[in-house]
Structure 1
Amino acid sequence: MTTLILLRHGRSTSNTSGVLAGRSPGVELDEKGREQAERVVERLAPVPLAAIVTSPMTRCVQTVEPLAQARGMTPVLEPDITEVDYGDWTNRELKELAKEDLWKVVQAHPSAAVFPGGEGLAAMQARAVAAIRRQDLRIAEEFGPSAVWVACSHGDPIKSIVADALASHLDNFQRIVVDNCSISVITYTPTRPFVARVNDVGGDVASLIPKPDEKPAEEAVVGGSTGA
């Protein structure tokens, strides 16, 4: 029953340009994004990390670089949690894309959205979720069931992973907000995932520290929290 910290990359040069960068090469963190990445190091300092996994896109690699250096760890590249392949939409202005008929499908019925010359959002979710579960199994086998690990990815893949963990249809994933350098936390058990946090940009992380003598619960507490 490992704990996954899903980390969205810091603010990039494309986030403020009004352009859908997608998988375009050369998209890096801007000054604020680099500051956000440094704050992640401080924020997660109390949490023991077993592994750092990242999308191979530059903005994600740059986001986890300070954390990896601080921990003396080498991030594992996972291509299947990379950005959506937006195909012909790549590098187009968002204000122009909003006029396309497909834009409404992406907003209201994303499971049916397939980008021209690219991939569908349903296919993206399938490969991202499969990759996270594959990495989670590897980490559990290597570091034990109480391992905590970080996966750095992009907005839409993270939203789709969270939606899957919530057993929510992909058509609801646009209701999930994932800001730059936010964390979303999922604990995977043999029977179901538990979503502990979504889009957390500043909360205390003490609860993410494993307690050696505490057996993780596989069932939800009736009536909510025990108040512990």
Structure 2
Amino acid sequence: MVNKILPLAVQGLHVRRQGRDILGPLDLTLDATGFTMVIGPNGAGKSTLLKALHGVERVSAGTLTWSAPDDDVHARQSFVFQTPVMLRRTVRENLRYPLSLTGVPKAQIDDRIHHWASLIGLTDHLGQSALRLSGGERQKLSLARALITEPELLFLDEPCTNLDGRATRDIEILLLEAYAKGTRIVMATHDLGQARRLATDALFLVRGALRETGKASTFFEHPQTDELQAFLKGEIVE
């Protein structure tokens, strides 16, 4: 039986750049299930936190203790950036690439590609260069490429920034479907409406410090700190 990579225990996580504290030190536990929304003002450290947990940000101090070996951890999680990164290839090849890395049997690859292309409305564009897609289409392709390997854990860094309402709704539907099928999701957003729509729990960061965390119902309706109360009212928090 393959061990799950979660829960994750984080202790004393600290990120410094050029002598300046960017994040932490902070402690948290990422449970095996949930849809965690990470909120906070610009520069709070949301992106840094996600990248540090994902393993693409250099950590200055602290430990991340996963529930499985490192090789399994890296292979069974995905990351979607705010600005989608497209391979200079066709839509089909963008979807094929992660499957080839994870050893999916060749007999299943085409079926998965067509399934996900259909979900994101790009079946007719499979032979087109991904660089020619619109911003919303690129972000949906980026999300499909992250989910096509059926990861246990998905990180997203403000994936709906600069997208219109329709594209945002489409992405939220895909995320909720992935969550319903068992993918653990941790997502940073600046959109409080989106955070309320999607969260089962939430984290609030200010100046690199974790100020408050909790289940969504309590977090949004009964904030405990003055800073979160002000932030949820739309006030400036520094």
| TM-score, normalised by the number of residues in structure 1 | 0.30
* Greater strand content: 2
